[in-house]
């Protein structure tokens, strides 16, 4: 297998149309076809472009969910209390929700309302991703004019088939009710590894569906290790190795095709990666066993062999952002088409019919 093709940055040119067409050229089967249609270990194959997702970031920040972005005062500690944030939102949002939501759908709802979660937004449309790569705001703040963005391309089926993920190594796109997604979706509920494991084991024993096959033994290993640590027992080398391997797997992200509830997810062709692991505000006590720290997409992509790479990043130079925005507007990719909520529509209309150019 030859190495991934190298892509030149999307840069400003004489004609704005050339800038957007450069992004479209990148998406075309050549030269990206080899990346999109890599043969997987199981032989499972999807027709291009299914499973190829795009993400635009208006800054060059790491490709990490907001809940896992480190606090400014430390590279190790998170500024967010994920468990309190998740539970508090559920309490306050109940009156506004009709019907029952599962754990993953709650995360999607939180993401919709701009709360920090362990989800990372992706789109099946490269033009929608490009819209976010050249946006004038990031996390509600104005972007400085000299800030480069980036366009990220994810081979989602290649991520889920990653060799480093022994249990979750399925070369396909997961559904929201998949066990691999569910194990990560319940992580916000619990502060300790022990409580997460106990709840997961109880649920697995109650649900004997195909998606839960194999998890009881997997979780039993974690419970055995935690029990040994809490009681200061000597831990066998084999148990240590199994536990370390499982923690590594639980720290990984997986790709999931969500239930597209609401117009925004449909308009934006939304998909997600849900990220494993957990970040805390402080350091653990010696006797406390915590969920593993998360492994980012970029870290994982750097670890795998060249033939297993699943991520490509293309810089978007700051000098071309305004040109790209104008071209996307002409193509119908703008706030009015991507955000169907009435407040977003009002904002779009107010700007559209404002002739005060001064």
* pLDDT, position 351: 87
Determine contact, residues 123/54, Cβ cutoff 8 Å. yes
Q: Number of folded domains in the chain?
A: 1
Distance between CA atoms of residues 220 and 21, nearest Å: 53
Over residues 44-76, the pLDDT tens digits come to: 555 556 789 999 999 888 999 999 988 776 665
The enclosing H or E element of 173 equals none
Whether residue 7 is contained in a domain is answered as no
Determine contact, residues 145/317, Cβ cutoff 8 Å. no
Whether residue 358 is contained in a domain is answered as no
Instruction: Give yes or no for residue 316 having a pLDDT over 80.
Output: yes
Whether residue 10 is contained in a domain is answered as no
Alpha helices of the chain — where are they, by DSSP H? 16-27, 29-36, 82-93, 103-112, 126-133, 156-160, 179-185, 193-206, 215-230, 237-250, 263-267, 297-303, 321-330, 335-338, 342-352
Higher pLDDT, 23 or 100: 100
CB-based burial, 233-265: b 16+ in 10 Å, e otherwise: eeeeeeeeebbeebbbbbbbbbbbbbeeeeeeb
Mean pLDDT, range 309-333, rounded to an integer: 89
Higher pLDDT, 164 or 217: 217
Over residues 132-172, the pLDDT tens digits come to: 999 887 665 667 668 888 999 999 988 988 755 555 546 67
Structural domain that includes position 341: 16-352
Report residue 106 as tokens. 């709650």
Whether residue 348 is contained in a domain is answered as yes
Over residues 254-305, the pLDDT tens digits come to: 999 998 887 888 899 999 999 999 998 877 777 778 899 999 999 999 998 8
Higher pLDDT, 167 or 110: 110
β-strands 270-275, 311-316 pairing? unpaired
In sequence order, what DSSP letters do the residues of 246-265 get, joined into one string?
A: HHHHHTSEEEE-----SHHH
Chain centre to alpha carbon of residue 56: 12
Determine contact, residues 112/262, Cβ cutoff 8 Å. yes
In sequence order, what DSSP letters do the residues of 65-81 get, joined into one string?
A: -GGGSPPTT-SSS-S--
Closest of 340, 336, 335 to residue 264, by C-alpha: 340
Closest of 12, 8, 13 to residue 25, by C-alpha: 8
Whether residue 224 is contained in a domain is answered as yes
Over residues 279-290, the pLDDT tens digits come to: 988 777 777 788
3-state helix, strand, coil in the chain (%, to 5): 45, 10, 45
* pLDDT, position 100: 81
Whether residue 210 is contained in a domain is answered as yes
Q: How many helices (H) and strands (E) does the chain have?
A: 15, 8
* pLDDT, position 357: 54
Whether residue 5 is contained in a domain is answered as no
The enclosing H or E element of 13 equals none
Whether residue 1 is contained in a domain is answered as no
Position of tokens 């001064």? Answer: 358
């Amino acid at each position: 297998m030859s190495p991934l093709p190298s892509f030149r940055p999307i840069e400003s040119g004489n004609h704005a149309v050339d800038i957007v067409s450069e992004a479209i050229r990148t998406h075309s089967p050549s030269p990206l076809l080899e990346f999109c249609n890599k043969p997987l270990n199981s032989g499972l194959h999807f027709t291009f472009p299914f499973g190829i997702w795009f993400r635009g970031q208006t800054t060059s920040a790491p490709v990490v969910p907001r809940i896992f972005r480190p606090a400014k005062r430390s590279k190790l500690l998170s500024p967010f209390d994920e468990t309190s944030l998740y539970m508090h939102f559920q309490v306050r949002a109940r009156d506004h929700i009709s019907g029952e939501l599962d754990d993953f759908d709650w995360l999607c709802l939180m993401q919709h309302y701009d709360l920090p979660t362990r989800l990372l937004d992706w789109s099946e449309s490269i033009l929608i991703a490009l819209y976010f790569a050249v946006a004038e705001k990031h996390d509600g703040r104005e972007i400085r004019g000299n800030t480069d963005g980036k366009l990220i391309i994810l081979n989602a089926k290649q991520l889920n088939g990653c060799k480093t993920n022994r249990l979750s190594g399925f070369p396909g796109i997961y559904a929201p009710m998949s066990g691999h997604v569910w194990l990560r979706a319940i992580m916000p509920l619990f502060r300790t590894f022990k409580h997460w494991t106990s709840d997961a084991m109880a649920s697995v024993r109650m649900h004997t569906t195909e998606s839960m096959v194999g998890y009881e033994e997997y979780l039993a290993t974690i419970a055995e290790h935690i029990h040994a640590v809490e009681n200061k027992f000597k831990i066998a080398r084999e148990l240590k190795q199994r536990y370390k391997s499982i923690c590594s797997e639980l720290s990984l992200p997986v790709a999931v095709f969500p239930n597209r509830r609401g117009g925004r997810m449909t308009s934006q062709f939304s998909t997600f990666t849900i990220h494993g692991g957990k970040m805390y505000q402080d350091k653990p006590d010696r006797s406390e066993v915590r969920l593993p720290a998360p492994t980012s997409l970029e870290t994982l992509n750097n670890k795998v062999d060249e033939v297993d790479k699943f991520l490509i990043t293309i810089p978007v130079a700051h000098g071309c952002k305004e040109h790209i925005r104008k071209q996307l507007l002409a193509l119908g990719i703008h706030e009015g088409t991507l955000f169907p909520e009435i407040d977003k529509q009002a904002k779009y209309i107010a700007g559209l019919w404002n002739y005060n150019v001064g």
